[in-house]
Amino acid sequence: MSLQIGIGLAGLGTVGAGVYKHLAQNRALLVERLGLELVVRRVVARDLTKPRAGLAALPPASILTKDWRVLIDDPAVEIVVELLGGIDTPLALIRAAIAAGKTVVTGNKALLAEHGQEIFALASAQRVPVFFEASTAGGIPIIKSIREAFIANHIVSIHGIINGTSNYILSRMTAEPGLDFADALAAAQAAGYAEADPTLDINGWDAAHKAIILASLAYGFWVPADRVFVEGIEKISATDIHFAGELGYRIKLLAIIKAAATETGQAGGPIEVRVHPTLIPKTHVLASVSGVFNAVAVRGDVVGETLFYGRGAGQDPTSSAVLSDLAEAAFALRPANEQAPDAGADLRRRCYGFTPHGLYGACLPLEEIVSRYYLRLAVDDRPGVLAQVAGALGAHGIGISSVVQPETHDAAGRAQLVLMLDRATHRQVNAALAEIAALACVHPPGALLRVETFGS
């Protein structure tokens, strides 16, 4: 009989049901590859009778409970898998699991973004590993890659399309000229790619939570949420999708994580973490990522450019990430042989999920972040308008790389003026925009979007 590792599964929603299903379906494969058996000892669910997606039958009543404390009190549960969602109850569960010396697996990105520093400090103090691959980019193994495959690299930059809902909406607006945001969102909801309340997806914070996790892993300090610039896609219009395409770009909700170069050329200065709609050159591989797919481009100083692509959400991809963490957690717990009482001890001492270090500085203030910009203005169609706008930009040291002004006008008879701006700080652009908005020839609404030039 193979060695058994007891699992306590907290949460039987979409992902939890998938984990339970695939543990059963792939039991023989896992036993052959791990040399042990992962056995679900307890399952926590808010509703003990509700049918679950993908499950032909519920888990046996003998292991079902509504009380997460049962997982902590049961000595047969060695690994606690937190898939409840939310913040308060999962935080209490994980705190208790760590205090009890139980290995933790979680996919809760919001919890880690807001309380990761505390969780990993507790894990380190108790020498309990925490695994969280499923928290970011679904089935894409980006967490393991940053922690393990790129361990000898200074991470120069990470660019990620890491929210499938927003990517689906923007892909539909790009593929169907004239489709507005509201209709594209409705299509995403009808297709099951957006929740009834899609707020965190479309306002950028779902992607921001993931960006905080990636940035913290890459740069060795826990990034405060209030230092992350976040902007959603709610204001993206069919007009801006059109002009971006004409200029050779596609608009994506992009997570951007970068380290500044030091005087020696080695990464190690302040970092920037931001999530916002971004113009990406059509020639760049990320511009071709469509639908609900995710992609993360990582550049290391040793490995160079790498790209990860796949489904970023859904029952099966996320379950795959949880099962990967379960396998690694089981290896950490498994004795190597009868004479070695705990061969996983060293791993547990070294692997608590997050390794802090002081090689990098704090987050760069938003006002100092440099970018190129796309600026669209509704203006009076008369001589001298462009000169006034250019004058306001020039007064703040902002150059113009190109100008587009189509001959067509809007319903109010105003022209659309589109300018591609040279690199400037957020502070410079905001000051210039305040002057431009005060011009009598400029009328709302307009649009300001950032342009990413990769490698700069």
Look up residue 6 and give its two tokens.
């007891």
Which one from 21, 109, 210, 258 is the annotated catalytic residue?
Answer: 210
- The secondary structure of residue 364, as a DSSP letter, is P
> What is the C-alpha to C-alpha distance for residues 380 and 36, in angstroms, rounded to an integer?
73
> What is the C-alpha to C-alpha distance for residues 250 and 245, in angstroms, rounded to an integer?
6
Residues 6+ apart with CB under 8 A from 191: 168
Q: Does the annotation mark 109 as catalytic? A: no
Residues 6+ apart with CB under 8 A from 397: 424, 428
SS3 222: coil
> What is the C-alpha to C-alpha distance for residues 86 and 120, in angstroms, rounded to an integer?
18
Cis peptide before 277 (omega within 30 of 0): no
| 8 Å CB contact between 381 and 417 | no
Residue 351 has phi, psi (to 5 degrees) of -115, 90
Residue 330 has phi, psi (to 5 degrees) of -65, -40
SS3 372: strand
Is residue 58 classed exposed, middle or buried when 0-12, 13-18 and 19+ CB atoms within 10 A define those classes?
A: middle
* CA dihedral (219, 253, 421, 443) positive or negative: negative
Strand pairing report for 267-281 and 304-311: unpaired
- Element holding 431 (H helix, E strand): helix 426-437
**DSSP alpha helices (H): ranges in 142-230?**
142-144, 164-175, 181-190, 199-202, 205-219
Whose CA is closest to 90, among 107, 73, 65?
A: 107
Give per-residue burial for 107-141: e unless 16+ CB within 10 Å, then b.
bbbbbbbbbbbebbebbbebebbbbbbbbbbbbbb
Residue positions annotated with a catalytic role:
210
